[in-house]
Amino acid sequence: MTLDVAAVRAAYPALADGYAYLDGAAGTQVPASVIDAISGAYRSGLGNAGGVFPASQRADAVTAQCRQAVADLTGGSPEGVILGPNMTTLTYRLAGTLARAWRPGDEVVVSRLDHDANVRPWVQAAARAGAVVRWAEVELPAGELPAGQYDSLLSERTALVAVTAASNVLGTRPAVAEITAKARAAGALSYVDGVHATPHGPTDVAALGADFYATSAYKWSGPHVGAVVASPGLLETLHPDKLEPAPGTVPERFEQGTPPFADLAGVTAAVDHLASLEPSATGTRREKILASMAAAHDHEQALFQVLLDGLGAMPGVTLYGKAPRRTATAYFTVAGTTPAEVAAHLAGRKVNAWNGHNYAWELTGVLGIRDSGSAVRAGLVHYNDRSDVDRLLAAVAELGG
């Protein structure tokens, strides 16, 4: 299936500003349907949750629909969808909750491929519990996270394995299912960071074997809302800190305070939008999502090849990472120009791209580039087209790339 990228782009008002939005890995634009869903929720009248009057019931319905939408996107169950402000906040919350059961000498495995949001919450929780942190290492120059190393990292003391489904700078997609299977065999839980991976292809939490799967709607055409997907049965065994009068039910007891109801309506609209990327797809919303995200994946990968070939042909450009399975995310430097200067030059040519470590703190340290401004990240999502890539390549070439 090929994506009708012109039709997809027409759905996004912000793309009309003439910029090439290659900053999707830091947050995508939103389609008009998401903007309308958010303003529509406000216009319809929203109360707080749990009341007997219609505006309150609308807020409850919006929340339930959002859980169902995230479940459809990820292959999870709505009763296991925890909603929150963003992945980092939710991960700190779950780390604090899970660590209550950790004893001195228990072990936690994190990786140097991960965004710091799936590292530091675990490292800090482990320190408080007296647990030992073990590190999965990245193999260079490919930027792979070999699954085989987990055999020696795991033990009967391992409580948790935290691993990313895709690196937010190199794009590397580790063999998550293999890693989580090893974790399970050792009696450990797995916490998979799907923030970068989710927008780039179909997601199936069961196939990934993830006990927890974290994602953020603002990376996939939605508003700034995070979610963690787990099995309701697992959540029943966990008891986060909560206010006395707040719901004790699952998943509500993992959610703190009043949620942004209108934004939750936007999350549902974003999932509906993703489901519509491949208009000829039929069946349930889940089936349409799987077909649409497969089409998005193929579209991104075809463009990515053009991007890699173009950058790869420039002698002054150094590209980081070359894992065979990776998202359409390029991370590069240009000889004689700092990443900050490259990004500023690109901005002058109407190309949005990030420079810096992008919170891939351990990874940029391993790559030896963290203290020198790291690199420039240009990532593709479903709404990027050939002209975005061509503009980036022309602008980098101007720098003598």
Binding site residues, ligand PLP, CB under 6 A: 26, 86-88, 115, 117-118, 164, 168, 193, 195-196, 216, 226
**Shortest approach of ligand PLP to residue 175 CB, angstroms?**
17
Show the 3-state SS of 252-292: HHHCCCCCCHHHHHHHHHHHHHHHCCCCCCCCCHHHHHHHH
- 196 vs 357 by CB, closer to ligand PLP: 196
Nearest in space to 81 (alpha carbons), one of 220, 240, 232: 232
The sign of the CA dihedral 347, 377, 10, 262 is negative
Nearest in space to 26 (alpha carbons), one of 227, 202, 218: 218
Dist. CA 401–CA 398, nearest whole Å: 7
- 117 vs 330 by CB, closer to ligand PLP: 117
Estimate to the nearest angstrom the gap between the alpha carbon of 365 and the chain centroid. 21
- 354 vs 383 by CB, closer to ligand PLP: 354
**Shortest approach of ligand PLP to residue 259 CB, angstroms?**
15
The sign of the CA dihedral 194, 331, 361, 172 is positive
Nearest in space to 255 (alpha carbons), one of 263, 264, 246: 246
**Shortest approach of ligand PLP to residue 177 CB, angstroms?**
18
**Shortest approach of ligand PLP to residue 200 CB, angstroms?**
11
**Shortest approach of ligand PLP to residue 219 CB, angstroms?**
7
- 31 vs 226 by CB, closer to ligand PLP: 226
**How close are the terminal C-alpha atoms of the chain, in Å?**
34
- 30 vs 87 by CB, closer to ligand PLP: 87
**Shortest approach of ligand PLP to residue 333 CB, angstroms?**
20
**Shortest approach of ligand PLP to residue 276 CB, angstroms?**
24
What does 361-391 look like in DSSP terms, one character per residue?
Answer: HHHHHHHT-GGGTBEEEEE--TT--HHHHHH
- 109 vs 395 by CB, closer to ligand PLP: 109
Dist. CA 235–CA 269, nearest whole Å: 26
- 88 vs 276 by CB, closer to ligand PLP: 88
From residue 108, alpha-carbon distances to 136, 182, 240, 336 in Å are 11, 14, 19, 41
